[in-house]
């Protein structure tokens, strides 16, 4: 479980730093964010990740993991399915 938390925090950190960098890219994160958003918004990989996350939520729910774990995985699946628009919004953000 700790590895999952570290991975989530890592990706959230990249998103926050990229948002802070904005269009001026003062922190030099634009290239890294472009690479990550390119991988996650790929037209073949995106549906696979979405179905895998939703399937994992249903699997955890049926194995007694609880409804909250299923809801979390389902929500992550929906976020991944809309990742292209989220990535565009984050990369275009300007936070002062």
pLDDT tens for 21-68 read 555 555 666 677 777 777 777 788 878 888 888 888 888 888 887 888
Residue 96 lies in a domain: no
Give residue 96's pLDDT: 43
Give residue 87's pLDDT: 66
Total count of domains within the chain: 1
Residue 58 lies in a domain: yes
Residue-wise pLDDT tens digits, 63-85: 887 888 888 888 888 887 787 67
Residue 31 lies in a domain: yes
Domain housing 37: 2-91
- Is 5 a residue whose pLDDT tops 60? yes
Give residue 66's pLDDT: 83
Give residue 59's pLDDT: 87
Residue 68 lies in a domain: yes
- DSSP output for 1-13: -HHHHHHHHHHHH
Q: Are 16 and 85 in contact (CB under 8 A)?
A: no
Q: What is the C-alpha end-to-end distance of the chain, expressed in Å? A: 34
Higher pLDDT, 39 or 4: 4
């Amino acid at each position: 479980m700790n590895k999952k938390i570290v991975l989530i925090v890592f990706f959230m950190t990249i998103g926050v730093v990229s948002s802070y960098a904005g269009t001026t890219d003062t922190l030099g994160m634009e290239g890294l964010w472009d690479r990550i958003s390119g991988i996650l918004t790929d037209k073949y990989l995106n549906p696979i990740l979405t179905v895998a996350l939703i399937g994992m939520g249903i699997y955890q729910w049926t194995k007694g993991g609880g409804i909250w774990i299923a809801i979390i995985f389902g929500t992550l699946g929906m976020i991944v399915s809309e990742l292209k628009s989220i990535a565009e919004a984050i990369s275009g953000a300007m936070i002062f």
